Amino acid sequence: MNAQLQPTGSAYFIAKETEKPENHTLSVLVDNEPGVLARVIGLFSGRGYNIESLTVSETEHEKHLSRITIVTRGTPHVLEQIKHQLERIVPVHRVVDLTVRSHEFGQERPLERELALVKVAGTGEARVEALRLADAFRASVIDANTEHFIFEITGKGTKIDQFIAIMKPLGLVEICRTGVAALNRGPQGM
């Protein structure tokens, strides 16, 4: 029996062995209508692409347009395929790879932020330490009683990951994250 990996339905097996997977942030401008998000997500799942983060919101109310921000991982070849396939979906107006665009502008990455709500339960010394660390991370207390805190923290995903890791031994109960919102620096738009 051959011990080699057999290709699956995933597009990641199409990539040349010399290409390394990388995270990219895509911004997709779509009509704000029922079923659009399902079609975009269906493209990813149907071809075996993974979504690391997904956020959607109406951004231009008068034009009924929404912006979908997707963080995905793949080789340059796979990422280019994803972009072209997204552009072919009818209610999609524009697809911009913010990571590629930021490199074109001489920047390492697009400006990315995420929001998280983090519930921590505890009393005594653990409670005091959770408050002290939250202050160091510039997290806000948005709900509290004698048994728990709910912190709101905004920043890069790595900052939020660090905050969560530090809160685990102090009584972390629950986390809710929004996913990445991203823009490129500079005066030009999408």
Report yes or no on whether pTM surpasses 0.75: yes
Please determine, for residue 70, whether its predicted confidence score (pLDDT) is greater than 60.
yes
Question: What average pLDDT does this structure show over 167-186?
Answer: 95
Mean pLDDT, residues 48-74 taken together: 92
Residue 13 has pLDDT above 60, yes or no: no
Amino acid (one-letter) located at 69? T
Pairing status of strand 111-121 against strand 51-60: unpaired
Residue 48 pLDDT? 87
Helices (H), 48-92: 76-87
Mean pLDDT of the chain: 89
95, 83 contact by CB (below 8 A): yes
Where do we find the tokens 């912006």?
67
Question: pLDDT: is 72 or 4 the higher one?
Answer: 72
Band of residue 45 on the pLDDT scale cut at 50, 70, 90: confident
Write down the pLDDT at residue 9.
Answer: 54
Whole-number percent of the chain with pLDDT over 70: 91
- pLDDT confidence tier of residue 187, bands split at 50, 70 and 90: confident
Instruction: Write the pLDDT tens digit of every residue in 91-141.
Output: 999 999 999 999 888 888 899 999 999 999 998 999 999 999 999 999 999
Report yes or no: 95 and 28 within 8 Å, Cβ to Cβ: yes
